Chains A and B, each alone.
Chain A
Amino acid sequence: MDQEHQFKPAGRFSWLVSTIYIVFLLLPIYWLVNMSFKENGEITGTFSLFPQNPTLRNYAVIFNDPSWYNGYINSIIYVGLNTIISVAAALPAAYAFSRYRFLGDKHLFFWLLTNRMAPPAVFALPFFQLYSAFGLIDTHIAVALAHCLFNVPLAVWILEGFMSGVPKEIDETAYIDGYSFPRFFVKIFMPLIASGVGVAAFFCFMFSWVELLLARTLTTTAAKPISAIMTRTVSAAGMDWGVLAAAGVLTIVPGALVIYFVRNYIAKGFALGRV
């Protein structure tokens, strides 16, 4: 009886479970890529695992039509703005939370995170009204600022985790050696939390990139993000499935690129820098 509990080497079918898992995970993405190289007739008419007449027409449409590629440009602009603003605002805040004790610091710190728990729809209305009053509707900065609501707290939490991993004595040694605060922060401290800044920037990028509701509410034409354009592709000729699929593929690509650079730190980032 005891022998049943002994450690057994992996069986002949141990590869099966992981293979099924990966197939299920990748299937939708594969199908998206598959569709993006097909013609509309093939997509709607037949079932094929591979494009029978591979075509780049769908991509050509996107790269040649300003109403398509401007969506990407808009998205990249406001996501980039948001990432820069969020990280720049979060760095000093995270440093304060990690190094100083002040009245209500723990409550404030927790309250920051609770901002992430409210659904974005709650904020859509006040943002719309507020930005209308300031004439910010349909600008990139409007979306970038709106996304800060979620991304600054997240970046603060991630950076605080990374900063608390740096011994306070390094700060003190630097001050004793004669470093002024700004000089210490840039020359000594930033290199130590560089991976944290990378992870925080990645998460800001990711959340801002996939967020649809606020981005769509706050823009009309000039700053319309790609995800909003993708939801409005029904034309008189019906759905252009192929172009839509190509747009989907192109939407995944930036995220995949960015994730490659921070792949070693992602787990630490999901744990908010506290591993």
Chain B
Amino acid sequence: MLEMRNAAKLVGGEYHIHPTNLALERGTLNVLLGPTLSGKTSLMRLMAGLDRPTSGSIHFDNVDVTGMPVQKRNIAMVYQQFINYPALTVYDNIASPMRLAGKDKASIDREVRKAAELLRLTPYLDRTPLNLSGGQQQRTALARALVKNASLVLMDEPLANLDYKLREELRAELPRIFAQSGAIFVYATTEPSEALLLGGNTATLSEGRITQFGSTIHVYRKPSDIITARTFADPPLNFMEVIKSGHELEHQGGSRMAVPSHLLHVADGPVTVAFHPHHLGFASQTADAPQLRAKTLISEITGSESFVHLEFGSTRWVMLAPGIHDIAPDADVDVFLDTRHLLAFGKDGRAITTLQAA
């Protein structure tokens, strides 16, 4: 188990990582999700021991490893850039951690060939990394991390620089490959969809702080505050400021809607509600979906779906509508909001705990 106890990183009087408590169990997949500069890499470097926390401590299996040189920890790390040893062949690259661990030649050879087979590098074992494509270079780095059989595997946006198809492929394979080792697997990404595809646990990061940590689905469905909700939403969440009074939500523009059953217990007063773009639509999904009048700004067609950018009052929304809609800009349209999945946040940005939706 990897534990960060109040670990913080100060650089030049500024917190890169605010004091953080985090416990990661063996054999779990943990996603660090956050935009660029949110501190994912800094956090990983603390976990790896590449950086020493300014305060607090890092424990591995209840042993304090703060300040222990990285050579002595059993970890593996894969970077976003394709990092290999350019002077060594792919074979030697993969073999290098085992050679340093002093394994015998036969078992090194067996392990290298096994990993190469798994990551489809067998034909390239005699080449040097710079003569490979980006995908092959990254697979070499992954193979090296794999053979090390580390107890902590850190991946810092490993697929960000790969092309689309390869990314899909490796994303599906990675957790499977590393799951068998029983290692703590940490995976940093900027893409909410990647976190959802990987599953496991997710920690959302914002400005050097972990805003929420829990099972990925739970964090996605029930973000604990607005920042987490924003971080974990792609396309972005839509927000609406409303005032709750009794059974009604009223927007300052005059639109009214019935309070959905899971928000009935919320105290009267101002509430920020949020919803995903696919909960808006040109057609009503439920009988009592409120109808809202908004102005179209622009629409983008992704293939089978259209993103329609809307202006509602002074806020901007994005609607994800199935099918191809060619919509003129600056037109008034009526859209329907599926209120069953509304998220509600109080003035302090904390989520208002909701009753189980029916």
Q: Chain A residues in contact with chain B, CB under 8 A?
A: 167, 169-170, 172-180, 188, 191-192
Known: A177-B100, A179-B100, A188-B87. A169 touches B79 (CB 8 A): yes
B71 interface residue, CB < 8 Å from A? yes
Which residues from chain A contact B86 at a C-beta distance below 8 Å? 170, 191-192
**Does B308 touch A at the CB level, under 8 Å?**
no
New contact pairs (20) apart from A177-B97, A180-B71, CB-CB < 8 Å: A167-B83, A169-B83, A170-B83, A172-B70, A173-B79, A173-B83, A173-B85, A173-B141, A174-B85, A175-B70, A176-B50, A176-B70, A176-B71, A176-B77, A177-B100, A177-B144, A178-B97, A179-B100, A191-B86, A192-B86
Q: Give the residue of B48, B85, B88, B101 whose beta carbon is less than 8 angstroms from that of A176.
A: B48
Query: Does B81 sit at the interface, judged by CB under 8 A?
Result: yes
- Residue-wise, chain B 70-102 has the 8 Å CB interface mask toward A (1 for contact) of 110001110101011111100000001100110
Q: Does B148 belong to the interface (CB within 8 Å)?
A: yes
Q: How many residues of B contact A (CB 8 A)?
A: 23
Chain A contacts for B69, CB-based, 8 A: 175
B113-130 CB mask vs A (1 if < 8 Å, else 0) is: 000000000000000000
Measured in the bound complex, the distance between the Cα atoms of B100 and A215 in whole Å is: 47
Chain A: minimal CB distance from B198 (Å): 22
Minimal Cβ-Cβ distance residue in A for B73: A176
**Which residues of chain B have C-beta atoms less than 8 A from A188's C-beta?**
85, 87-88
Contacts of B75 in A (CB 8 A): 176
Q: Are A192 and B87 in contact (CB under 8 A)?
A: yes
A-B contact pairs, 10 of them (CB 8 A): A169-B83, A170-B83, A172-B70, A172-B77, A175-B71, A176-B71, A176-B77, A178-B100, A179-B71, A180-B71
Structural contact, B77 and A173, CB atoms closer than 8 A: yes
Per-residue interface assignment for chain B, residues 133 to 156, with 1 indicating a CB less than 8 Å from any chain A CB and 0 otherwise = 000000001001000100000000
A170 touching B97, Cβ below 8 Å: no
Q: Roughly how many angstroms separate A188 CA and B144 CA in the complex, as a whole number? A: 15
Q: Tell me the complex Cα distance, A175–B77, Å.
A: 11
Q: Which of A174, A177, A180, A191 contacts B148 (CB 8 A)?
A: A177
Complexed CA–CA distance, A170 and B84 (Å): 7
A212 and B148 CA atoms in complex are apart in Å by 56
Most buried by A among B84, B85, B97, B144: B85
On whether the beta carbons of A169 and B81 are closer than 8 Å, the reply is yes
* Residues in chain A near residue B88, CB distance under 8 A: 188
**Closest Cβ of chain B: how far from A275's Cβ, in Å?**
18
CA distance A179 to B70 in the complex (A): 10
| Residues of A close to B85: CB separation below 8 A | 170, 173-174, 188
Chain B residues with CB below 8 A from A180, complex form: 71
Q: How many angstroms from the CA of A5 to the CA of B85 in the assembled complex? A: 51
A230 to chain B, nearest CB (A): 43
- Distance, CA A30 to CA B75, complexed state (A): 64
User: Nearest 8 pairs between A and B by C-beta?
Assistant: A191-B87, A178-B100, A177-B97, A169-B83, A175-B70, A169-B79, A173-B83, A178-B71
Q: Which residue in chain B gives the minimum CB-CB distance to A177?
A: B97
Tell which of A170, A176, A179 has the most Cβ of chain B within 10 Å.
A176
B81 neighbours in A (Cβ, 8 Å): 167, 169
| In the complex, chain B residues whose CB is within 8 Å of the CB of A172 | 50, 70, 77
Smallest CB-CB separation from B154: which chain A residue?
A176
By beta carbon, the residue of chain A nearest B79 is A169
Bound: A234/B48 CA distance, A: 71
> Nearest chain A CB to B336's CB is how many angstroms away?
50
Distance in Å from the Cβ of B337 to the closest Cβ of chain A? 46
Chain B residues with CB under 8 Å of A191's CB are 86-87
- Please name all residues of chain A whose beta carbon is closer than 8 Å to the beta carbon of B87 when the two chains form the complex: 188, 191-192
Q: How far is the CB of A189 from chain B (nearest CB, A)?
A: 9
| Assembled-state Cα–Cα distance A212/B70 (Å) | 50
* Identity of the chain A residue whose Cβ is nearest the Cβ of B86 in the assembled complex: A192
- Whether A177 pairs with B79 at a CB distance below 8 angstroms is no
Residues in chain B near residue A192, CB distance under 8 A: 86-87
